[in-house]
Chains A and B, each alone.
Chain A
Amino acid sequence: MAKTATALPLEGIRVADFSWIINGPQIAQWLATMGAEVIKIESQVYLDIGRINPAGMADRVAGPNRNGYYHALNYGKKAITLNLATDKGRELADEIIRKSDLVLECFPTPAANKLGITYDRVRAVKPDIVMISVSLLGKTGLEPASWVGWGPMACSFVGMFDAQGYPGGPPRQTGGTWPDYAIASAVTFHVLAALRHRNRTGEGQWIDASMGETVIGQMPELYMDYFINGHDGGRRGNRDDAMAPHNTYPCAGDDKWIAIAVGTDSEWDALCRAMGNPAWCRDPKFADRYGRLSHRDELDAHLARWTRGHEHIALAHELQQAGVAAGPVLDSVEIHEDPHLWEWGFFRKIDHHEVGERILPNMPVRMSNVPELNYSMPPDLGQHNREIFGGLLGLSDAEIKILMEQKIIY
């Protein structure tokens, strides 16, 4: 049956999702919002850290269905509980795999081996499966393939932290768990290519995704400079090869900043006008791009004295009006209040049965022909047990009851 133009692109695709925490769930969230049926396989033996991390707990009242960390990464999915440490649990997992198009996991190698969630075993269960393994540094290779780690450690391993920091200072850490999200969108693209390949040829495959390799592929300037010239790093703060001023500058208030980037002479003129053309602006050494690049520290000092007296958000608007690339550094309150993000559709209000009205970020893309993606409510722990074990696997209520008592559906 032909799908309607408003159908979601992945309707009819089923994902057996063994992943947890951030990177795997974010991949599955991409797939779920686009219409795939994602069956998230969890267990009370080891709850997803997203369900228990105190920093995301609604109103700091504990409960597995109350966590914002989990909600932000798991909407659009179905959730079942299955104890994979039992033979029967693994057998039921195989039944789900047999009825799925994709298998997703992000366990460290030893844990994946122990649970039997390896490509060799999964392929034996379903030969045309497309399986995605996400890990710190890949599942093949040498010793680091078995390391436990999390996103930022991948940055650390591949030179990103070493290249980050203030000139002359020590290496510093990139904010958040950026590589988890970076690998998620990269994997999503490649898994869809693999799925399309399977649809055309019947051949499945294994995507062995390494956060370290994704980060390498996303900092070509550094790697190419090493491969071409043998140059190795150096910490540069916000310095750029082609732009000056190019930095973040302090504004009025506590820990408030504005980012300003000037590329062309006309942008420089616009910035000078916005500052009221102070005398130092007319110093001939700042007249062209080369001069500005050569005297960037001096420029930064002048600019910082000026920005200090201004409110960061208002100043960014003023500078943009004047034709200068500028943006306020937003904290978490300010980003939630940003009018552009709301108007564009970045945030969504949800009304959750346990935690009430909350705000979650949507996926960061919009599509003209599928204006409404699947943003269904983040699932409660085991919410879809009956639907999946009874419906998909055809178990009777009595059988499900026994499996629950035996802590297999658990």
Chain B
Amino acid sequence: MAIRALDDLVVVEFAQMVSGPMCGKMFADMGAEVVKIEPPCAGDEMRAHPPFPGDVPHPEKSGSFLYLNTSKKSLTLDPSTPTGAEVFRKLIAGADVLIENHQPEYLDSIGLGYEALKTINPKLIVTSISPFGQTGPYRNWKGTDLIEFAMSLTGYNTPTMVDDPERENPIRAPGHQAEMMGATAAAAATMFAIFHREATGVGQWIDAPCWQAIASTSKIEMAALTYARLPFSRMRGNVATGLEPLRCKDGYIYTLWAADTHYKALKALLHNPVEMESEVFDLLVGRQANDDVLRPMIRAELLKYDTEHLVSEGQRLGLTIGPVFTVAQAANHPHLRARNAFIEIDHPIAGRFQYPRSLVQMTATPPMPTRAPLLGEHNAEILSRLGYSLDEQQRMRAAGAI
């Protein structure tokens, strides 16, 4: 059994759906005890979201929930009730970190904001993940992954290489990438706060918004404006440089050919077709000016070859070139298999299947996901530990607090 790097930390996760749970998962997979607070009855909203085995909804079988909540403990609790709030405060008294992703001011409104929690536990780190942040004019705006992603420059720029901006509306990346960026930025900041606390003895409140996290993935596109005075536009952002999936005989490849040496390699890869030889194309400016002629030429040539040939031969020639795989192709790829990028996890109700293993690989303390908890699975364990007798637990259950 490998060592768990964070096995001395206790994290309370009062969060739902993607951003907060993903942040909690990162701590849990590294060995922290993560107590996930779920609303009584329905649990985390993600339990209602697909994919489900056979597409049949079941609260213990959502693939998205099972992935986002590996290695955690589940406690059903409604902290907006007096009893729920009392249990919450007891949990917080013994916790290192609280991860939450409610609307700003919600925790305050139920008496459990950072200032109140700090009096119970001055060393507590509260990590608040939200769509837009805890301050600023949009702090109470409703945000979803689509909204946050679309508002970032990365969203404006997706898909890239737009032929017809009238018809091709901006689309979001598959999954919940704004929420994921918010989650990993929050996790990084929380680890910084843990270092800070271990040096100084004090906790703090972290404001980790998803929009700002995804917006910061277009830093260099932003710098183009304030440095080179080049406004970034979808039409001319990236021209004559590849930058789009290109069809070949049996699928698509993806390559970059911005540098003049890349163009040379691309010509060699395509066996130097006469039409591509014109010296007009030798320099980037010429290729950009003649993109309308060049692009269809390259598209036509690529159709003669298959993916595997183009990628392995192109890589040998020094091109940054790779395949455009489907999820199934990637999931079965021998390279990812050789790296054990996937792990099999058994779950008593959902069953046994594979999961993506971890965001990065580590030699001494690798992240090691274990199965997600059933709704309220750890109620008795946690409440007993907090000093509640079985009778008291029974009364809480009857009152709907747990």
Contact = CB atoms under 8 A, between A and B. Distances in A.
Interface stretch (A81-89, A95-103, A200-208, A291-299): A200-208
A223 B216 contact: no
Contact of A330 (B68, B151, B159, B315): B151
Contact of B329 (A56, A136, A159, A240): A159
8 contacts: A210-B339, A213-B357, A222-B175, A223-B331, A233-B327, A259-B151, A364-B216, A365-B208
B323 A157 contact: yes
Interface string A184-217: 0111111011111100010111111110111011
A306 interface: no
Interface in B100-156: 114, 132-138, 141-144, 146-156
A320 interface: yes
Contact of A364 (B63, B187, B209, B367): B209
A351 B122 CA distance: 38
Contacts of A173: 158-161, 243-245, 254
A243 B359 contact: no
A368 B54 CA distance: 47
B273 interface: no
Given A216-B341, A344-B135, A181 B245 contact: no
A368 B173 contact: no
A333 interface: yes
A10 B213 CA distance: 21
Contacts of B326: 159, 162-163, 232-233
Nearest to A22: B220
B202 A369 contact: yes
A326 B147 contact: yes
B215 A341 contact: yes
A190 B187 CA distance: 9
A331 B156 contact: yes
A233 B174 CA distance: 10
Contacts of B196: 7-9, 367, 369-370
B261 interface: no
Interface of B: 3, 5-6, 26, 30, 49-55, 63-64, 66-68, 114, 132-138, 141-144, 146-161, 165-166, 168-177, 180-181, 184-196, 199-200, 202-209, 212-213, 215-235, 243-245, 247, 252, 254, 256, 312, 315, 318-331, 333-336, 338-339, 341-342, 353-365, 367
A55 interface: yes
B108 to A, nearest CB: 14
Contacts of A227: 63, 331, 342, 353-355
A4 B200 contact: yes
Contact of B209 (A71, A210, A220, A344): A344
Given A161-B254, A195-B195, 6 more contacts: A71-B227, A205-B365, A228-B51, A365-B206, A366-B206, A370-B196
B72 to A, nearest CB: 15
Among B157, B186, B252, max chain A CB count under 10 A is at B157
Nearest to B175: A219
Contact of A210 (B172, B244, B325, B360): B360
Interface string A318-336: 0010011111111111011
Interface string A211-249: 011101111111111111111110011101111001111
A214 B359 contact: yes
B359 A148 contact: no
A38 interface: no
Interface stretch (A355-363, A380-388, A393-401): A355-363
A30 B188 contact: yes
A365 B207 contact: yes
A375 interface: no
Nearest to A8: B196
B341 A164 contact: no
Contacts of B205: 367-369
B199 A223 contact: no
A343 B136 CA distance: 5
B143 A335 contact: no
A156 B254 CA distance: 7
A141 B51 CA distance: 30
B227 A68 contact: yes
Contacts of B324: 156, 161-162, 171
Given A190-B359, A231-B51, A176 B221 contact: yes
A403 interface: no
A3 B174 contact: no
A139 B159 CA distance: 29
A344 B133 contact: yes
A340 interface: yes
A379 interface: no
A93 interface: no
A367 B134 CA distance: 11
Contact of A217 (B136, B192, B226, B359): B359
Given A175-B159, A196-B5, A329-B155, A214 B195 contact: no
A24 interface: no
A142 B204 contact: no
A138 interface: yes
Contacts of A340: 132-133, 136-138
Contacts of B3: 197, 201
A358 B156 CA distance: 23
A225 B356 CA distance: 12
A229 B54 contact: yes
Given A222-B327, A226-B331, A364 B359 contact: no
B287 to A, nearest CB: 15
B222 A10 contact: no
A153 B320 contact: yes
Nearest to B187: A189
A140 to B, nearest CB: 6
Given A2-B199, A325-B143, A364 B212 contact: yes
Nearest to B328: A232
A192 B364 contact: no
Contact of B5 (A193, A209, A369): A193
Contacts of B170: 248, 257, 259, 329
Interface string A245-267: 01111100011010101010001
Contacts of A181: 181, 216-217, 219
Q: Which among A69, A228, A344 has the highest number of chain B CB atoms within 10 Å? A: A228
Contacts of A170: 245, 247, 252
A58 interface: yes
A233 B331 CA distance: 12
Given A159-B330, A170-B252, A328-B151, A55 B362 contact: no
